[in-house]
Amino acid sequence: MPEITHRTIQTNGINMHVAEAGSGPLVVMCHGWPESWYSWRHQLTFLAENGFHAVAPDQRGYGQTDKPEDIDQYTQLHMVGDIVGLLDALGEQTAVIVGHDWGAPVAWNSALLRPDRFPAVVGMSVPYSPRGDIKPTDGLKMAFGDNFFYILYFQEPGVAEAELEADVTATIRKLYYSASGDAPRPDTPPAPRPMAGTKFMDGMLDPAELPAWLTEADLDFFAGEFRRSGFRGGLNWYRNLDRTWNLMGAWRGAKIQVPALFITGERDPVRGFASEAGIRQAVPKLTDLVLVDGAGHWVQQERPDEVNAALLKFLKGL
């Protein structure tokens, strides 16, 4: 099996830790929240075995990468700049960019803003949504009113940090399980909860034993990363929804114009964010939309074989 190596590069004013394996055409994989480069452990070695240079950074605010103090340093323009600088540091002109969860907007926006550097894109779990006319938090407030929604809960600095960091291992264990394909889903949507007094972890399920795709060693690694770094960096991504919206006005309604692939779990709670028709309209060069049977939100960890096969088919077809 190819060796995964680690180094720190300088990009866009920060030090970024990257894990990498293999040689050949570059594939950059961007993780989501609350994760790290380790989310791509199965893809790093697989792509290396199949002739690619696979690179997975700890993104800004995570793991061993720098965590700027100011909240306004976590817009999508910063994230795209980080990945462009990563290519420069690696001496590469182009890369296929892959992103899961919050990494998906980084991938989509990289392909949108710099198609010269990212001539193909793969999104997982979170579909591309063109910039609309309503400020994101205003839209969420209209949709949820006085009821709880986690993104609105995350807006106040310090609140979610205190909750999530009280028991980091329990936070990761419950969250990963609850959003996975292994967790039971209610037959009817849960009743709305009031914003006042409700916390993010309320209602999360604690498994009697870990699902097969998440070993104790995996859990220990993820928990160790957040025990060291805290959750603030990742939460600051959510706190820049409106700031990014303001900065992206010139791309209102813009579509992704490079070849693309979208992969999602059949049991992913995020599936309702956009219809298949909406995704295809916003990404006209979408080659395939892969629905992984039985998988939840952490699709590349839960079903690595299916995800790896879809990735390789897309990459070989470019």
Element (H, E) at 142: helix 136-144
Region of residue 85 (phi > 0: left; psi between -120 and 50: alpha; otherwise: beta)? alpha
How many domains does the structure of the chain reveal? 1
What's the distance, CA 111 to chain centroid? 15
Contacts of 114 (CB under 8 A, 6+ apart): 80, 84
CATH of the domain at 212: 3.40.50.1820
CA-CA distance, 106 to 57, in Å (whole number)? Answer: 12
Catalytic residue positions? 101, 297
Question: What is the residue range of 284's domain?
Answer: 5-317
What is the chain's pLDDT, residue by residue, as a tens digit (318 residues)? 899 999 999 999 999 999 999 999 999 999 999 999 999 999 999 999 999 999 999 999 999 999 999 999 999 999 999 999 999 999 999 999 999 999 999 999 999 999 999 999 999 999 999 999 999 999 999 999 999 999 999 999 999 999 999 999 999 999 999 999 999 988 787 889 999 999 999 989 999 999 999 999 999 999 999 999 999 999 999 999 999 999 999 999 999 999 999 999 999 999 887 888 999 999 999 999 999 999 999 999 999 999 999 999 999 999
CA-CA distance, 211 to 207, in Å (whole number)? Answer: 8
* SS3 state of residue 127: coil
Element (H, E) at 98: strand 96-100
